[in-house]
Structure 1
Amino acid sequence: MSETVLEVKNLSKYFPIRGGVLRRVVGYVKAVDQVSFSVKKGETFGLVGESGCGKSTTGRTILRLLEPTDGQVLFEGRDIAHLSRRALRRVRRDLQMVFQDPFASLNPTMTVGELIEEPMKVHGLYTKRERKEKVREMMETVGLDPAYVQRYPHEFSGGQRQRIGIARALSLRPKLIVADEPVSALDVSIQSQILNLMEDLQDQFGLTYIFIAHDLSVVKHISDRVGVMYLGRMVEVAPKRELYDHPAHPYTQALLSAVPVPNPRHKRERIVLSGNVPSPANPPAGCAFHPRCPKAFDRCRAERPEMIHLGGEHYVACHLFDEGAQAG
């Protein structure tokens, strides 16, 4: 599991802000701002943060559903961020996505069979008979009755629709799947079923996941390593156990302090952040978190922190861990 399958280097995605009569560009929303991380073959890399922190945009930009503004996305050593559309088409078989809303992501005019078969048709795989057989095989794999192959998405529950989305993503036998909050729209009882299904499929097909979520308890259940984002920037990356037991960044500490503990006798100090999340159209200078950080000092307001190695696979972007930092 030491082989790196995906490496993201200084990835940025800026959206232009237009104003005036001529609709000229007057600024940019920095949704993703110089994000870097790597994903190992066969692991689940969790990507967490508050709503609006840029984690979903990061996932979509990695897959080129959104065009990157800057940076590199190395998939198996090949930079796919700058491939032509024709060259990218050949790579797309190995990169698939499971979307957050299992209803909005499925065409309501297509049957389940057509939805799962469509990627295979687009890539010219198999004969018509083979594709029909593959559809039934994929339905069984994700726990759906193949007898429902002619039904439409609205005839299924939310959990079943998400299984359809997973089957569609798996139909091309991809190597990497970006799962964008795949269980956040589901009931809690159904969430566990989908998470267990994804883990079983990972073992069965040797899949690698980027699992995007805001629910830290869900991420803890399924992830091997976790990256924490704030205002479009990566602030901490660590193995799951290390991150949850020894969070280093003040923002990570605040997030974890809000996670409910299923033990009424266990008391955890709640860290309440002051102020609101700054606008990504006008991010603060220095560390993006400094306006809300209870431990911020002068250097945080002036200089953007770089990732610092804390040992093992634990990295944090915080001046508190820089040898030259002096609180004052």
Structure 2
Amino acid sequence: MKHVLGVDGGGAKTSARLLSVGPSGRLCLLGSGLAGGSNPLSVGWDAAQSAIGQAIAAATEQAGAAPDAAVLAIAGCASPSARERLDAWAQTQGFAPRLAVVPDTEPLLATVPAGESAIGLIAGTGTAALVRRTDGTTEVVGGWGYLIDDAGSGYAVGRDALRHVALRADRGEPADALTEALLLHAGVGSPPELKGALYGAADPRGWAARLAPMVLGLAASGDPIAIQIATENAAALAALARHTALRVGPDDRPRVRLAGGLAVGSPLYRSGVIEQLVAAGWAPSQVTLAGDAACACGQLAARLG
């Protein structure tokens, strides 16, 4: 096996990495590609497949090589039926002779040594956790989706900001800093116009999630309402980790690998989650960022027989 392809698809973006495999198994990045979201449950199957194809085409063109094996980790494909549907499509595209479709949680713990328990905690457009026990068995916790529970996600942060703006408008209160920033971001002049912008979007969930960086930026600058929203959602994400740790044992605190655009992109949010986990008994050294998910998929692809 000379080249492998890893694809990480989320609700907001899709990343592809084409890597070479050295004699010792060491991977070297040759090309990268980036496209829009590819969670079929939020953007639809046609848009998801288009984004995956665009990201892969960009990575292979940049690398000037074709992969021998590929692993696609796509949000919204946790169920066997969804994976089978995406796998059937991917096989027709000829992305690689050997190919596997896995849930987006799968690459989180690809680099954790065998025999160690660990938790992979995703905070992106949505949230989910993956626990791996010492015997190698795994289990997904959370990941229920925004209509049931996406606590601590980019969607939840954006939704909470929208709720704050709506409540102030209903009370007849003047616009505060968060309201003004949200209206500017949405390109509308008043809170009632937000309804048209949100519900008229092709992907309302993704539209709300894209408010999160703005909200967390305000929190970093000291806005009290944005800080409250960030703190409450960081606590909810830490609670998911605590619930997940119970799958290992009542007193266990496995190492935690953080992933997803929210955890990676906002130092303030990441620090809030770590603080909550430390308060719950984790050592600071046990909570670290996961590696690049698309590269981790490349590592998984290198193991395909």
Output the TM-score relative to the length of structure 2: 0.29
Bigger helix fraction: 2
**Structure whose alpha-carbon radius of gyration is higher:** 1
Output the TM-score relative to the length of structure 1: 0.28
